[in-house]
Structure formats: C-alpha cells, structure tokens
Amino acid sequence: MYCIEERQKPKLIIISGIAGSGKTTLSLKLALTTKYELFSTDTIKETLKPYIDTREKYFFTSTHEAGDIENISAIGGFLKHCEVITFHTKKILKEFLNQGKNVILEGAQLLLSNFDIEGYDLIKVLIVMNSRELALKRYTKKNEVYIKKNTKWDKNIDRIMQIQEYLIKTAPQDAYVFYNNNKSNSKNIFEEIVNMISKGGRKRK
C-alpha cells in the first residue's frame, strides 16, 4: 500500500493598503526573509502599459483619481480601477502558481474582499494608517523625494482616506488588519506576519 501525501498549496500573501501605509517596505522585508517571489501592482501596471489598449482608461488612472474618468464617486472609481488591475494581475499569478512558487503581492489596487484565486493558500493583510495627519506627513515627505513624479497624494487626501475606510469596512473575516503608525509598530507587524506564515493561522487581528 502506498501513502500519498497531499501536495501543499503555494502561499500567496496579499498586502493591501493606501499609498504610504508601509506595505511596500513590509513586503520587501518579507520577501528577503521568506525568499518568496515579490510583485507590486504598480510594477505590473508599468510593465503592461505598452500592451494595454489606451481606451481601457481605468487601467491608466490612479486609485484616488479613477472617479474623475466618468465623474463618479471616489469609491466607485476605485472599484473600477481595482477590477481592471486585478484582472491583469491574476493572469501573472497563475503562471507562478503553475510553477508552485510562493508569492507576495502588494498594492493599493488590491481589494481583499473579492481577491480569490484557486490553487493558492491565501493570506490577506491590510495595512492601515492611524490618522489623516500621519498620512499627510508621509505624503509631504514622499513628495520631497519624488518631486518629478507629482503623486498628488496630499491634494487627494480626502479621497484616499475614504478609500482606506472602505478597505477597513470590507476587509473579510480571514484578513489580518494591522494599524501602522511608527517604525516600532512596523517591526511588530513584520514579526507577526512571519509568525503567521510559519503557523498558517487565520485569525483576524
């Protein structure tokens, strides 16, 4: 008689959050520690730009400006933007799934409530900024660094905070929700996620 072991699913860690919440820094540290493949929706977006029909306007916009395309609410535009970016992102993830690779995916366009992909062991994480004041402080600092990029995050702070509230409200029960307000807190979040990966836990924070 043969004993057939069930094949372990590759892990997919999805890290969502508004701009400046610390998800990119966290994702880089996790990737270095776990040796997982790391993807950013921003990088995927930039890579695919030359191949996407320019009429697909919700692909080329940003999370906080998507509502301007059809003069709809910030949340309405955000959802349309997420839908388009998620569609293209899942195509890439499926390629890595076929190779059995563990993946970390981070981005502001990731809606945890409807991001499911068959074949992966999903770990969903939402990073939240504690306050509007903290967000403005970080955006001002980032704008000093990325002068040419002109992110307009500070000018769209109301929309961005609306999106964060929506992400918190719609976060599924199996998601880990962390509030990031300083470097010490970021270290604690990192350690908790590494511990979570090793134990495979599913408890909402």
- What pLDDT, in 10s, does the model give residues 157-198? 999 999 999 999 999 999 999 998 766 577 788 888 888 777
122-148 pLDDT, tens digit each: 999 999 998 899 888 888 877 666 655
Q: How far apart are CA 91 and CA 132, in angstroms?
A: 35
pLDDT band at 204 (very low <50, low <70, confident <90, very high): very low
Which residues share a beta bridge with 13? 104, 123
pLDDT in tens, 4-55: 344 588 999 999 999 989 899 899 999 999 999 999 999 999 999 999 999 9
What is the pLDDT at residue 200? 60
pTM equals: 0.87
Domain 11-199 has CATH 3.10.20.30: no
Mean predicted lDDT score pLDDT of the chain: 86
Q: Are 11 and 102 in contact (CB under 8 A)?
A: yes
Tell me how far apart the terminal alpha carbons of the chain are, to the nearest angstrom.
Answer: 44
Amino acid (1-letter code) at residue 184: S
3-class SS of residue 56: coil
- Pairwise CA distance, residues 91 & 25, whole Å: 25
- Within its chain, how far is the Cα of 103 from the centroid? 13
Q: Is 131 helix (H, G, I), strand (E, B) or coil?
A: coil
The full set of domain ranges for the chain reads 11-199
